[in-house]
Structure 1
Amino acid sequence: MIYSFPPPPPRTRTKPIRLLCVGLPRSGTESLSQALTQLGYTTFHGWDIFFDSAAHIQAWAALAHRKYASPDDSAAPITRADFDALLAGDCDAVLDTAPALFAPEMIQAYPEAKVILNTRRDLDAWQRSAWRAFVTEGADSWTYWLLHWFSAEVFWRWRLYYVVSCPGLFRGRTTGEGLRRHGKRVYREHGWMVKGLVSPERLLEWTVEDGWAGLCEFLDKEIPDQPFPHTNTGNGFRKRVQQILRPEKKKVLVTMVLSVISAGVLGSALVLG
């Protein structure tokens, strides 16, 4: 690998995991995360992986590779210790990337946690949203592809999402192929799998349109005196990705300029020497 790091020190859990929100990304996860924060939870969302250190993103990529890309069945099972080492120690609710990719493993690892299956009512709308997020702004982005060669963080994000996880989750050679051919079926099967693993009293099926009522009843919380948050629309996601990549582009430009200068100096030395 161009960028390879030793395993990061394992994190120390200071709170028990109380809640797993195992719906696939683009199923209201950020709105749900903000709602849970208002209810007193400390959340760990896919963005927390996205903004983590390169070493931690590499560790998540290795965990995803163990599940989705191991050549045989000899890979070690994924356990609670694996998750506790990477999740923020003070989080007690986990959403988006981690529980979507590792739903059965996390459900087994944290049997004391309640489970929310957050879904979209309109499956076609979910697929369009997922395509914009994972393909248009991700796997098919030449800017993103170029950046990943010059930044350790972007390199491991690229490998985690577009080399291992999305092709593995959607069962395709590439993210786009898998999402186009199998996305909606994977979405349905994911929900069936979760409902088969979790007892009814431990599980809530929920959509953003349901708002506070069912969520607060399930979590034994009072309904806040404010509207339910609705965030991270398609345009909002695109702006956020562009905002994230803007400083990465500046760093890459500096790296490329320095590389060209270094190559020129080395070439001159070889010619003149």
Structure 2
Amino acid sequence: MGHAASKPDPNAKFRVIGAGLSRTATTSFGAALTELLDGPCHHGGTQLLCSDESVIKRWIDVFRKTPIQNEQDKKVIHTEIKSLMDGYVGCTDLPGNAVVEELLEIYPDAVVICTVRDPEKWWQSIRPIVENANFTVLSWILAPVPRFRYFRTYHDALDEGNFGKAHFKEGEKKMPSAVTYERHIEYLKRVVPKDRLFFFDVRDGWEPLCQILGVPVPKDKPFPRLNDAAAVEGIMKSGIKQGMVTWAGIGVTAAAGLYTGLRMARIL
């Protein structure tokens, strides 16, 4: 996790559906799962933007078939999600937290753990991104960059699919707001059996998480304290920088071609 995608381990058993929203310490939670369950964890943002481009394209195809309308789509979606998640001990953040119902069916022995924080602090953390991000400009900048060029398409598919259905009411602008956090909690309580749903605040450390998972508490090892915002923003900044450099190169090449063409026209 962090700035590198985790590699699947064929011996890993999928045990935890991390259902917390972004900015609820999902990166720290993923690192804790890796430690406790001795296997790689699928942290959504990192896996999407640091893996082969086919990964984000496959998730786009999944969400375009949601909400599931028929058995054929259900079979395709379940097969694809399983292929993407097998080899990990669990998942955190998007896109996993938007396919909780599907993951419950695919992995009947898994538990759902939602990382939590104060709703108001969560909104203050994510509000600047929601209100200040210009996705049109960002899409142009990222257009020549592998994986990142599908970022807008991916989010549109989320909003039109499962995530939008669970978090936005008909007629509302499809954009996170101060009520999104509570709607997410309500969604989980609605679709997850009570005996499989747990809420966890990373500030509480190892003990409650180990109790949920039925594993020993690590000795002399501090609970991971990683920064969700820094982890994903670092990846995005790298993509934006790459896009700007690429566009600059395209501009120089185009200018050189135009100059050469004009000189040749004069000669001819």
TM-score range, shorter chain: 0.7 to 0.9
Deviation at 1:250, TM superposition (A): 2.4
Aligned to 1:103: 100
Deviation at 1:149, TM superposition (A): 2.4
* SS state at 2:31 partner: helix
Once residues 165 and 84 of structure 1 are traced to their aligned partners in structure 2, the CA distance between those partners, rounded to angstroms, is: 18
**Residues 245 and 14 from structure 1, CA distance in 2 versus in 1: closer, same or farther, beyond 3 angstroms?**
farther
More displaced stretch, 216-225 vs 240-249: 240-249
**What amino acid does structure 2 have at the position aligned with 1:195?**
K
Aligned to 1:164: 157
- Structure 2 residue 29 is the aligned partner of structure 1 residue 32: yes
Could you report, residue by residue, the CA deviation over 1:217-244 in whole angstroms, capped at 9, with x for unpaired residues?
A: 1112222222222221546654453234
Aligned to 2:226: 231
Aligned to 1:186: 180
Residues 15, 109 of structure 2: 8 Å contact kept: yes
For CA contacts below 8 A with separation 6 or more, give which structure has more relative contact order. 2
Aligned to 1:62: 61
Aligned to 1:23: 20
Aligned to 1:4: none
Once residues 261 and 55 of structure 2 are traced to their aligned partners in structure 1, the CA distance between those partners, rounded to angstroms, is: 35
**Residues 159 and 260 from structure 1, CA distance in 2 versus in 1: closer, same or farther, beyond 3 angstroms?**
farther
* SS state at 1:76 partner: helix
Gaps of 5+ in 1: 1-10
**Residues 111 and 236 from structure 1, CA distance in 2 versus in 1: closer, same or farther, beyond 3 angstroms?**
closer
* SS state at 1:67 partner: coil
**What amino acid does structure 1 have at the position aligned with 2:158?**
S
Deviation at 1:53, TM superposition (A): 2.0
Of residues 177, 200, 203 in structure 1, which corresponds to 2:197? 203
Once residues 262 and 86 of structure 1 are traced to their aligned partners in structure 2, the CA distance between those partners, rounded to angstroms, is: 43
Residues 135, 141 of structure 1: 8 Å contact kept: no
Task: State the percentage of identical aligned residues.
Answer: 19
**What amino acid does structure 2 have at the position aligned with 1:32?**
F
**Residues 131 and 50 from structure 1, CA distance in 2 versus in 1: closer, same or farther, beyond 3 angstroms?**
farther
Once residues 209 and 12 of structure 1 are traced to their aligned partners in structure 2, the CA distance between those partners, rounded to angstroms, is: 29
Aligned to 1:8: none
Gaps of 5+ in 2: 1-7
Could you report, residue by residue, the CA deviation over 1:138-171 in whole angstroms, capped at 9, with x for unpaired residues?
A: x42566232232224221122112x332565343
Instruction: Output the aligned Cα RMSD.
Output: 3.4
* SS state at 1:221 partner: coil
**Residues 272 and 83 from structure 1, CA distance in 2 versus in 1: closer, same or farther, beyond 3 angstroms?**
farther
Once residues 190 and 144 of structure 1 are traced to their aligned partners in structure 2, the CA distance between those partners, rounded to angstroms, is: 27
Taking structure 1 as the reference length, what is the TM-score of the superposition?
A: 0.76
* SS state at 1:179 partner: coil
Of residues 216, 232, 236 in structure 2, which corresponds to 1:222? 216
Number of equivalent positions? 252
Residues 151, 252 of structure 1: 8 Å contact kept: no
Of residues 109, 116, 119 in structure 2, which corresponds to 1:119? 116
Deviation at 1:216, TM superposition (A): 0.8
Once residues 12 and 215 of structure 1 are traced to their aligned partners in structure 2, the CA distance between those partners, rounded to angstroms, is: 22
Once residues 110 and 261 of structure 2 are traced to their aligned partners in structure 1, the CA distance between those partners, rounded to angstroms, is: 58
**What amino acid does structure 1 have at the position aligned with 2:175?**
L
**Residues 55 and 79 from structure 1, CA distance in 2 versus in 1: closer, same or farther, beyond 3 angstroms?**
closer
Once residues 129 and 22 of structure 2 are traced to their aligned partners in structure 1, the CA distance between those partners, rounded to angstroms, is: 9
Of residues 78, 81, 92 in structure 2, which corresponds to 1:80? 78
**What amino acid does structure 2 have at the position aligned with 1:41?**
G
